[in-house]
Structure 1
Amino acid sequence: MLSEDFFTDKFSRSFDIVLFSALILSTFLTIVLLTLPSQYDPYKDKPLKVVDEEGKEIEMKGKDGRKKVNFKQGRTVQVVVLGDIGRSPRMQYHAISIAKHGGRVYLTGYQESELHPDIVSNPLIQIVPLVPAPSFLRSSSRLLFPVLAPLKALWQAQNLYRALGYRAVPARWMLVQNPPSIPTLAIAAIVCFFRNTELVIDWHNFGYSILALKLGSSHPLVKISALYENIFSRFASDHIAVTNAMARVLKTKYGVSAHALHDRPAAIFRPISSQDRAKFLARLPETAQYAQDLSSSSKSPWKLIVSSTSWTADEDFSLLLDALSAYSAQCTSKTHLPKILAIITGKGPLKEHYLSKIQVMNQEKKLLNVVIQTAWLTPEDYALLLAAADLGVSLHTSSSGVDLPMKVVDMFGAGLPVVGWGKFEAWPELVREDVNGKGFESSEQLAQQLVELFESKDGLLTTLKQGALKESENRWDDEWDRVGGKLFKLV
C-alpha cells in the first residue's frame, strides 16, 4: 500500500509545478504589459512649436503661403503605407495636407525612391522608414508564392508593429492605405487598440481582387484574403474611398460607410507655356534629339505620348505595344500621320519582360514609325513631361472595377488629354468621353483612336486638350479639405 507521505510529496511537487508555471505566466504577462506601446493622451498632444538650430521659433505658413499656421491640439496623425512612400502619391498628399493645417505627421513606409519636395522640407512631417524584407522573400514566382507569401507577411508584420508601436509617438488617428491589406490592417488594428488611436482606412482598391490577378478568383488564399479584409474593415472608426463606386461597394458588401475623396493633382502638376515646353524637350535626354520636330507646330511630324506604368499584372502593357505596332503599319500607307515618340515611365516586376518584347518587335520592323523609350524621372521632370506631351495613355485595368488610376489625375493636372482602358464601372467618374479623354477596350480600338486623334481632321485632339486644361483647375487641396479636413477636425 502507498504511504501517506507518498501522496503528500506528490501533491507538494504538483503544487510547486503549478506555482512555478503561474510565476512564469505572471512574469510574461507583466513584461508584455510593461512593454506595450504607450497610449495616446490628448492632454499631452499640445500645439507644436517648430524651432531652428538656435532654438528660435519657425513661423510656418499655411496652404496659401502667407497665413501663419495655427498648430492645433490633438492633431497628430500616423500615415501608413506598406509600400514605397515615393510611389504612393496619395498618401504623401494626405501627409502634406495634414501638415499644412498644423497637424503633426509620422509617415511610415519604405523609403526606396525620391519623396515629394514638400514632404522633405516640412518639419511637421517625420519619416518612419520600414526595413525591406530579405530579397528571397520578394520573389515574383507564382509557384513559390503560397510558401513565401506567409513568410513575407510575418516579416512585414513584426517590422510594421515595431514601427507603428514604438518608433512614433502615440497619435490621435492612424490613416492606413489599403491595399496591401495583409498584414497591414491587422497590425494597424492591434496597435490602435493598444494606443487608444482611431483607425482610418483609405481604400485605394481591394487587396483580394489584386491577389486574384495572380492566383485566380477561386484560389483559397484569395477567399481568405477577402474574408480577412471584410473582418478588419470593421475595426476602423472611419473610411475614405477613392471613388463613389468603391464607397457603394464598401457599404453593400462590408457594411461600412466611406467618404468618397477623389484623387486630385498636386500643385507640381500644372500646364506649361510653349516656351517652357520647348526648353524642357531640349533638355530631357529622352526627347532632346526630337525636340525641334516636337516643338515645330501643331502639324509636327512627331507626336509625344506618355504612359506611366508600374509594370504589374493589372496593367496589360501589351495593349499599347500592339496598338503602336498597328499604328506604325498604318503610317506606311497614310504618310500624313505623324511618327510617335512614346516614353514609358515607372518601375516594376514585368519591365524586363516587356523590354525584351520591344526589342523583338524592333528587330521584326514592327515599330518603324514609332520610337519607344523608358525613363525613371524625378517628380519635377515627370510633371514637366506630362505637361509637354501631346497625349497620355493609361493601361490601368482595375482589378475591382471601382478604383481609378492616379496617373490619369496627374495627367489632367498637367492639362494632358488621356486615352485609357475604360472597361470598368468607375471610369466615367474621372474621364468624360470626347471632352477630356477617351476610353478603349482593345488594342485595335486604341490604335484607331491614335489615328483619329493625330489625323486632326475634326480637331478632336484640340477639343480634348481644352477639356483637360479645364479639368486641371480641380485641385487636391479643395477636395481634401472637404473630406479629410473635416474628418481630422482641421477645418
Structure 2
Amino acid sequence: MQYHALSLARHGRGVTLLGYLQTKPHSDVLGNGNIRIVAISDLRPLQVGPKIFQYVVKVIAQAMQLLYTMLKIDQPSYVLLQNPPGLPSIAVAWVVCLVWRSKLIIDWHNYGYTIMSLIHGRNHLLVQIAKWFVWYEKLFGRLSDYNFCVTNAMKEDLWEKCSIKAVTLYDKPASYFKETPLELQHRLYMKLAKVYEPFKAQYVTESVNSSAERSAFTEMDDKNGCVIKTKGRPALLISSTSWTEDEDFSVLLKALEDYEQYINDGVKLPSLVCVITGSADLGVCLHKSSSGLDLPMKVVDMFGCCLPVCAIHFECLHELVKHNENGLIFRDSNELAEQLKMLFLEFPTLEGKLHNFRRNLRASKQLRWDESWDQTVLPLLRQNE
C-alpha cells in the first residue's frame, strides 16, 4: 500500500494513507509532501469470554473506528484497500464510498480465511466461520468499481468462483532493489566483521595482497582502493519467508545439515554463511502461499537485486520463478540440499548455473514497480477523470 501511495503521489495526487503505525513507514513515504498519514489504533481484544466473542467485539469496534476515521478525512476520488484483511474494512470502505460518491478499488492478495488458517490452523472454529464469510468478500468484490490481483491464478479464481473481474498487477521490486556495488559490499562486510565471526578474514584461504584490508568475502588494496572478491570465500545465503510454524524453517535447517554432510564426505563445497543482505550469492525462499494464489514479495525483491533463488513449490509459483532459468524450485529438504550441492560445487572458482541464473536476471530487464503501476493502474484512473 505504501508503493501505491508513492505512485499516486509521484503523479501529483494527494494521498491519505490510513493504517496501523506498529512499524515505521518507509522514509520515502514520510518525506513525501503529497502523502498524509492517518494512524489507526490497534485495538486489543477484550480478555473476557470465549475467543469467538472477543473476536466479534473487536470487529465491531474496528468497524466503528474505521468508519469514524474515514468520514473525517477530505472527500477522496478513490478508496483503495488491500484484501485481506477485509473484515470489516471492505464493508466500511464501501459505505464510505457511498457517502462520498467515491470509487472503490480492491487490491486482492489472498482470501481472509486462508490467512487466518496460517495462524489458527484449518480446522479452527474462527477459520471455519471466516471460510463461510467468503460470500462477504465475493459480495463487496462485485460491488467495487475496480479490482486488482497479484497473479493470473488469482484473477482466474476470482472470476470462476466469485464472478469478479480483476486486472493482474504483479508485485514488482522498487527501484532501490539492485545489485550492491562491490565497494559497498566490502564496507558492509568489514562493519559486520567487527561483530560477527563468520565475516572475519580468517575464513579466507587464499589472498592476492598480504597488506589488503580483508573480510571473509572481499579485500581492498590499501594503495589504490580496488576491491575484489577473495578466491577462497564462503558462499552467502539469504533466507527469507513468512513462516508461522517451526516446520517451515526446518526445511532449510535439514537441507543445511545434509549440505554439511556432503562437505564431511569430502565433496568440494564452500561453507555457507546465512545472512540477510542484498549482497548474497543465493536466496532461499520458504514462503508457502496460504491459498496458492499469491506470490512471495521476497523473491520479487531478490530478483530486483538479480539474485538467483531456490524456492519451495506451490501452485502458481511458476508465474515468478522459472525453473532452471532464474532459479530452482524444490519440494522438500532433500531436494533443496541437492540443489545447494549442485549450485555450489567448485564455488567460487566455477559458479556455473548460479552465474547463468544471474545473467538471465540481468538480461530480463524486468519491470520495476513504478513502470508496472504506470502501465496498469494509471490508465484506469485517467479514463475516469
TM-score category, normalised to shorter length? 0.7 to 0.9
2:223 is aligned with 1:330:
no
* Cα drift, residue 135 of structure 1: 6.9
2:237 is aligned with 1:305:
yes
Match of 2:86 among 164, 181, 185: 181
Instruction: Give the aligned residue type for 1:237.
Output: D
Match of 2:169 among 243, 256, 261: 261
Question: Is the 8 Å Cα contact of residues 396 and 405 (structure 1) preserved in structure 2?
Answer: yes
SS of structure 2 residue aligned to 1:392: strand
Correspondence for 1:25: none
Distance 1:403 1:102 in 2: 30
SS of structure 1 residue aligned to 2:272: strand
Distance 1:179 1:468, change over 3 A: same
* Paired residues, number: 354
Correspondence for 1:445: 335
Between structure 1 and structure 2, the one with the greater Rg is 1
Question: Is the 8 Å Cα contact of residues 285 and 312 (structure 2) preserved in structure 1?
Answer: yes
SS of structure 1 residue aligned to 2:139: helix
Which whole-Å deviations, capped at 9, do the CAs of 1:431-454 have from their partners, x for residues lacking one?
A: 111111111111111111111111
Distance 1:311 1:397 in 2: 8
2:63 is aligned with 1:153:
no
Correspondence for 2:212: none
Which whole-Å deviations, capped at 9, do the CAs of 1:321-366 have from their partners, x for residues lacking one?
A: 221222222222235211111125xxxxxxxxxxxxxxxxxxxxxx
Correspondence for 1:248: 156
Correspondence for 2:370: 477
Instruction: Give the aligned residue type for 1:294.
Output: F
Distance 1:126 1:431, change over 3 A: same
Higher mean C-alpha displacement, 320-329 vs 430-439: 320-329
Question: Is the 8 Å Cα contact of residues 110 and 132 (structure 1) preserved in structure 2?
Answer: yes
Distance 1:174 1:315 in 2: 39
Distance 1:237 1:314 in 2: 41
Which whole-Å deviations, capped at 9, do the CAs of 1:351-400 have from their partners, x for residues lacking one?
A: xxxxxxxxxxxxxxxxxxxxxxxxxxxxxxxxxx22x1111111111111
Instruction: Give the aligned residue type for 1:438.
Output: L
Instruction: Give the aligned residue type for 2:14.
Output: R
Distance 1:315 1:101 in 2: 44
Distance 1:314 1:321 in 2: 10
Question: Is the 8 Å Cα contact of residues 29 and 35 (structure 2) preserved in structure 1?
Answer: yes
Distance 1:216 1:463 in 2: 40
* Cα drift, residue 126 of structure 1: 0.5
Distance 2:362 2:41 in 1: 41
SS of structure 1 residue aligned to 2:133: helix
* Cα drift, residue 473 of structure 1: 4.0
* Cα drift, residue 471 of structure 1: 4.3
Distance 1:287 1:274 in 2: 20
Distance 1:151 1:318, change over 3 A: farther
Q: Give identity over the alignment, percent.
A: 37
Correspondence for 1:290: 199
* Cα drift, residue 486 of structure 1: 1.2
Instruction: Give the aligned residue type for 1:174.
Output: V
Question: Is the 8 Å Cα contact of residues 325 and 360 (structure 2) preserved in structure 1?
Answer: yes
Correspondence for 2:249: 317
Distance 2:170 2:55 in 1: 31
2:291 is aligned with 1:400:
yes
- Normalised by the size of structure 2, how large is the TM-score? 0.84
Alpha carbon RMSD of aligned pairs, Å? 2.6
* Cα drift, residue 94 of structure 1: 0.6
Question: Is the 8 Å Cα contact of residues 243 and 286 (structure 2) preserved in structure 1?
Answer: no
* Cα drift, residue 211 of structure 1: 2.3
Correspondence for 2:35: 125
Question: Is the 8 Å Cα contact of residues 242 and 286 (structure 2) preserved in structure 1?
Answer: no
Correspondence for 1:415: 306
Distance 1:233 1:156, change over 3 A: same
Which whole-Å deviations, capped at 9, do the CAs of 1:440-490 have from their partners, x for residues lacking one?
A: 111111111111111156701111121233346421111101111112228
Which whole-Å deviations, capped at 9, do the CAs of 1:112-132 have from their partners, x for residues lacking one?
A: 223222211110001011111
SS of structure 2 residue aligned to 1:256: coil
* Cα drift, residue 217 of structure 1: 6.0
Distance 1:305 1:315 in 2: 20
Which whole-Å deviations, capped at 9, do the CAs of 1:150-197 have from their partners, x for residues lacking one?
A: 23322322222222221x211010010011111111111121122211
Question: Is the 8 Å Cα contact of residues 413 and 471 (structure 1) preserved in structure 2?
Answer: no
* Cα drift, residue 200 of structure 1: 0.2
SS of structure 1 residue aligned to 2:115: helix
Distance 1:441 1:289 in 2: 29
**Pairs within 5 Å for 1:86-105:** 91-105=1-15
Match of 2:109 among 204, 225, 235: 204
Instruction: Give the aligned residue type for 1:115.
Output: P
Instruction: Give the aligned residue type for 2:16.
Output: Y
SS of structure 2 residue aligned to 1:176: strand
Which whole-Å deviations, capped at 9, do the CAs of 1:13-55 have from their partners, x for residues lacking one?
A: xxxxxxxxxxxxxxxxxxxxxxxxxxxxxxxxxxxxxxxxxxx
Instruction: Give the aligned residue type for 2:292.
Output: G
- Normalised by the size of structure 1, how large is the TM-score? 0.67
* Cα drift, residue 299 of structure 1: 4.9
* Cα drift, residue 222 of structure 1: 3.4
Correspondence for 2:225: none
Instruction: Give the aligned residue type for 1:216.
Output: R
Question: Is the 8 Å Cα contact of residues 303 and 339 (structure 1) preserved in structure 2?
Answer: yes
* Cα drift, residue 272 of structure 1: 2.1
* Structure 1: stretches of 5+ with no match in the other structure: 1-90, 138-142, 345-384
